[in-house]
Amino acid sequence: MALFGIDGFHTTDACPLNNSKSAKLLLNAEMLNLDKISKKYKINKILGQYHSALEHTFLWIVDAEDPHLIQQFCIESGLASFNAVKIIPLITTQEAIETVKKVNPQ
Ligand SMILES: [Zn+2]
């Protein structure tokens, strides 16, 4: 299991709320069938999908095998067509605490 964040941003002009092309992409069958696409790119599970509508940002959290494959997922799913996307390696807070304990034993 490896956790990654998919951190996305679009402009107000590209927002599906304001742009019919983006809205169509968001609502099309490919976007609604993310499980099928995600398996193809070794994304084991989409753990969360959070959006801030007026910030025009989103953060998805996935359990995946390879960030390069997440990149391909973002292209095929249409996410990357109207969003700038960062793929961020994540650990849990508990894992961070364990790392701090190893580096700075008390
Ligand atoms: Zn938006």
- Predicted confidence at residue 29, as pLDDT, reads 60
* Cα-to-centroid distance, 84 and ligand 1 (Å): 12
Sign of CA dihedral 93, 59, 31, 84: negative
* Cα-to-centroid distance, 51 and ligand 1 (Å): 9
For the stretch 49-53, contacts whose Cβ atoms lie closer than 8 Å and that sit 24 or more positions apart, written own/partner, are: 53/17
Contact partners, residue 23, CB within 8 Å, separation at least 6: 16, 17
Q: Tens of pLDDT along 8-61?
A: 999 999 999 999 999 998 887 666 678 888 999 999 999 999 999 999 999 999
* Cα-to-centroid distance, 100 and ligand 1 (Å): 37
Its pTM stands at 0.88
The answer to whether 9 and 51 have CB atoms below 8 angstroms apart is no
Judged by DSSP in three states, 70 sits in helix
Tell whether the model's pLDDT for residue 6 goes beyond 70.
yes
* Domain at 3-103: CATH architecture: 2-Layer Sandwich (3.30)
* Cα-to-centroid distance, 8 and ligand 1 (Å): 10
